[in-house]
Amino acid sequence: MGKRILELDNVHSYYGHIHALKGISLYVEEGEIVTMIGANGAGKSTTLRTISGLLHPREGTVKLEGEDITHTDPHLIVYKGVGHVPEGRGIFPKLTVRENLEMGAFTITDPNKIQQRLEWVFELFPRLKERLDQYGGTLSGGEQQMLAIGRGLMQHPRILMLDEPSMGLAPVLVELIFDIIQKLNKEGVTILLVEQNAHMALSIAHRGYVLQTGNIVLTDSAEKLKKNEMVQKTYLGIE
């Protein structure tokens, strides 16, 4: 078994009185792409928010490389190496592409390192280099998604969490984003992927978890999940 980068054990998270996560247990090993699939409201984004410290669970533990981060502040979790690209991208529309990317490097003090990270992001997303001085808000949806992922990579995270990266994108851009995710993984980035497009997610992931109303109802290798009858009917549109 590989080294566990991330581990959730019996996590219960709430929004006020709403019991959003009902005892979630999952893990991600170094070098994996692990996907979470499920309908809207299943608890996928809530799981990522709980890992990021934006939401603290009432029960259970979240561990990063064995260290308990269950009640750690979000900015410290970033320092520890958790990158989170939220649903809806969350870029800064009135900052340039360069400024958006530099915001992702707030944990780094060495200007040379920041420059190296910028070059890495431009290798992955040459289009961002062409648009370096453009405001984030003037980019297309696909370019904004590239910028959001690029910003998440600037700190060179131990694990990168992606929340619905294909949402609202044209099919050709969805292919491009998923190619990039695979390329990142080959370069050693461990990825936790939340994705409505279950077919694409399972085509690149090593393992997957299926969530329904705050519970994990199924977990297996991506290959086996693709062949599972319930997954085929509910998420892959195969009768």
pLDDT band of residue 173 (cuts 50, 70, 90) is confident
CA–CA dist 22, 40 (Å, integer) = 16
Q: Domain for residue 239, yes or no?
A: no
**Domain assignment of residue 165, given as a range:** 4-37+52-234
- Phi, psi at 52, each rounded to 5°: -75, -10
- Please enumerate in sequence order all residues whose Cβ is within 8 A of that of 175, keeping only pairs 6 or more positions apart, or say none: none
Q: What pLDDT sits at residue 128?
A: 94
Q: Domain for residue 57, yes or no?
A: yes
∠ Cα 178 161 158 (to 5°): 105
Does residue 1 carry a pLDDT above 80? no
Q: For 122-142, write each residue's pLDDT tens digit.
A: 999 999 999 999 999 999 888
Q: Domain for residue 110, yes or no?
A: yes
CA atoms within 13 A on the CB side of 162: 32
Q: What pLDDT sits at residue 32?
A: 97
Sequence letter at residue 182: Q
pLDDT band of residue 20 (cuts 50, 70, 90) is very high
Residue 148's CATH number: 3.40.50.300
Split into its structural domains, the chain has a count of: 1
Q: What pLDDT sits at residue 196?
A: 86
| Whole-number Cα distances in Å, 181 to 2, 93, 132, 174, 204 | 20, 24, 22, 11, 8
pLDDT band of residue 87 (cuts 50, 70, 90) is confident
What's the chain look like in SS3?
CCCEEEEEEEEEEEECCEEEEEEEEEEEECCCEEEEECCCCCCHHHHHHHHHCCCCCCEEEEEECCEECCCCCHHHHHHCCEEEECCCCCCCCCCEHHHHHHHCCCCCCCHHHHHHHHHHHHHHCHHHHHCCCCEHHHCCHHHHHHHHHHHHHCCCCCEEEEECCCCCCCHHHHHHHHHHHHHHHHCCCEEEEECCCHHHHHHHCCEEEEEECCEEEEEEEHHHHHHCHHHHHHCCCCC
Does residue 89 carry a pLDDT above 80? no
Please state the rounded mean pLDDT for residues 148-157: 91
Q: What pLDDT sits at residue 61?
A: 97
Q: Domain for residue 71, yes or no?
A: yes
Please state the rounded mean pLDDT for residues 114-118: 93
Tokens standing for 189? 């980035």
Q: Is 89 or 71 the better-scoring residue by pLDDT?
A: 71
Please state the rounded mean pLDDT for residues 68-78: 95
Q: Domain for residue 29, yes or no?
A: yes
Q: Domain for residue 185, yes or no?
A: yes
Q: What pLDDT sits at residue 58?
A: 96
Q: What pLDDT sits at residue 34?
A: 98
Q: What pLDDT sits at residue 108?
A: 87
Q: What pLDDT sits at residue 107?
A: 83
The residue to which tokens 């199924």 are assigned: 218
The residue to which tokens 């969350």 are assigned: 90
Mean pLDDT (the chain) is: 93
Does residue 239 carry a pLDDT above 80? no
Q: Domain for residue 46, yes or no?
A: no
Sequence letter at residue 47: T
pTM listed for this prediction: 0.93
Please state the rounded mean pLDDT for residues 165-185: 90
CA–CA dist 116, 110 (Å, integer) = 10
Q: What pLDDT sits at residue 204?
A: 97
Q: Domain for residue 137, yes or no?
A: yes
pLDDT band of residue 117 (cuts 50, 70, 90) is very high
- Please enumerate in sequence order all residues whose Cβ is within 8 A of that of 138, keeping only pairs 6 or more positions apart, or say none: none
